[in-house]
């Protein structure tokens, strides 16, 4: 339904686009909402701007009026009216209205999800996102830098950090919430349309803070189920392939888990289905064989301070063998 509010919002975003601010749309925009909370925040933003514009126009109007008019003796009453009306009454009414509206959104923004959907836990790490799912039937799995969500459902997300303060933010879906050491923060994501959205760390957390993005993919329920089945299953790539042997002999398994193999490391991302993800290294690279090869060769240049050694000393053909095996972890 096109409420006046939505019409205003649409008009405003249309005007923004026309004004050359087309960057306000897209997969990582709070002004192009694809989630219930983000839509409320976008509406709040529009009303705050409208309120600020009205107050500004009145104040500037009065200032111009004051410079053009010289108060005569008989004007005292009008002057008092101006001061009380324009200086106290008008801002009080506008600001109270905006405050009540803002507060009225709060209870909604804080509610939890439904019990029969997935539960997600995201752990901020320097500089990537550990993502854990628990399905309603009790199955659990872990992945990295990617969330899948069923459209139209409210999914609770628990936010933790393994090191410093990070902030979890998918602007198109909801507001941002900090991940604070020693604290458990909660939020919910309630996507309203399907698509691929981008999130980022919104709290400076060290050297590669700007290289700590992730993706949220919103899909229909059936597609979500199929994806969750795949993620919960062990690795599908051959575990006796040359790539797998290299992976084990080079010690990758000390930091990475590949379910279904000996690799059970917990320091870095779970790689069981790494080939199926949108990007590598928290969205610094696409996801193909060449990207895996580059990651192994020059990840310290792609991501300064990264907590994984580069494997520059490997002969090129070994990096390629590893890359092909990793890409096969679908
Ligand atoms: Cu961060």
CA of 266 to the centre of ligand 1 (A): 19
pLDDT single digits (tens) 206-243? 999 999 999 999 999 999 999 999 999 999 878 789 99
pLDDT single digits (tens) 78-98? 788 888 888 889 889 989 999
Do residues 305 and 316 touch, judged by C-beta distance below 8 A?
no
CA of 74 to the centre of ligand 1 (A): 64
pLDDT at 10: 53
For residue 192, name the pLDDT band (cuts at 50, 70, 90).
Answer: very high
pLDDT at 38: 94
pLDDT at 34 over 90: yes
CA of 258 to the centre of ligand 1 (A): 25
Q: How many other β-carbons are positioned within 10 Å of the β-carbon of residue 15?
A: 10
pLDDT at 79: 80
CA of 53 to the centre of ligand 1 (A): 35
Residues 6+ away with beta carbon under 8 Å from 10: 2
Across all residues in the chain, what is the average pLDDT?
A: 89
pLDDT at 299: 95
For the record, the structure tokens of 15 come out as: 């005007």
pLDDT single digits (tens) 128-153? 999 999 999 999 999 999 999 999 99
Give the integer Cα–Cα distance in Å for 256 and 308: 10
CA of 212 to the centre of ligand 1 (A): 6
Of 223 and 70, more confident: 223
pLDDT at 71 over 80: no
Letter string b/e over residues 276-306, b meaning 16 or more CB atoms within 10 A of that residue's CB: bbebbbbbbbebebebbbbbbbebeebbeeb
In this prediction the pTM is: 0.88
Of 111 and 79, more confident: 79
pLDDT at 109: 64
CA of 7 to the centre of ligand 1 (A): 36
For residue 55, name the pLDDT band (cuts at 50, 70, 90).
Answer: confident
Do residues 70 and 139 touch, judged by C-beta distance below 8 A?
no
Question: Quick one: average pLDDT of 165-184?
Answer: 96
Nearest to 235 by CA among 122, 128, 132, 143: 143
pLDDT at 309: 95
CA of 166 to the centre of ligand 1 (A): 4
pLDDT at 265 over 90: yes
Letter string b/e over residues 140-163, b meaning 16 or more CB atoms within 10 A of that residue's CB: ebbbbbbbbbbbebbbbbbbbbee
pLDDT at 258 over 90: yes
pLDDT at 1: 45
pLDDT at 15: 53
């Amino acid at each position: 339904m096109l409420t006046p509010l939505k019409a205003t919002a649409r008009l405003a975003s249309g005007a923004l686009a026309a004004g050359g601010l087309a960057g306000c749309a897209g997969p990582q925009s709070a002004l192009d909402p694809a989630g219930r909370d983000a839509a409320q925040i976008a509406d709040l933003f529009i009303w705050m701007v409208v309120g600020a514009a009205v107050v500004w126009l009145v104040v500037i109007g009065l200032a111009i009026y004051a410079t053009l008019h010289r108060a005569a003796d008989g004007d005292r009453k009008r002057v008092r009216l101006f001061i009380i009306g324009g200086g106290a009454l008008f801002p009080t009414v506008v600001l109270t209205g905006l405050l009540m509206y803002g507060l009225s959104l709060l209870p909604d923004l804080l509610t939890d999800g439904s019990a029969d959907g997935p539960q997600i836990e995201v752990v901020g790490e320097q500089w990537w996102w550990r993502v854990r799912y628990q399905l309603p039937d009790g199955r659990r799995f872990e992945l990295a830098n990617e969330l899948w969500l069923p459209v139209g459902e409210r999914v609770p997300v628990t936010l933790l950090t393994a090191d410093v303060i990070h902030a979890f933010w998918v602007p198109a879906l909801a507001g941002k919430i900090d991940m604070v050491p020693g604290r458990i923060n909660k939020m919910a994501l309630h996507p309203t349309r399907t698509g691929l959205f981008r999130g980022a760390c919104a709290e400076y957390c060290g050297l590669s803070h700007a290289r700590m993005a992730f993706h949220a993919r919103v899909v229909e329920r059936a597609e979500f189920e199929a994806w969750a089945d795949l993620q919960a299953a062990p690795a599908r790539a051959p575990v006796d392939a040359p790539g797998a042997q290299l992976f084990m002999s080079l010690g990758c398994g000390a930091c990475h888990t590949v379910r279904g193999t000996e690799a059970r490391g917990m320091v870095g991302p779970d790689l069981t289905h790494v080939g199926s993800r949108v990007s590598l290294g928290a969205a610094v690279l696409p996801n193909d064989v060449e990207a895996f090869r580059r990651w192994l060769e020059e990840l310290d240049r792609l991501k300064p301070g990264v907590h994984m050694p580069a494997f520059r000393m490997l002969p090129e053909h070994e990096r390629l063998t590893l890359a092909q095996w990793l890409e096969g972890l679908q």
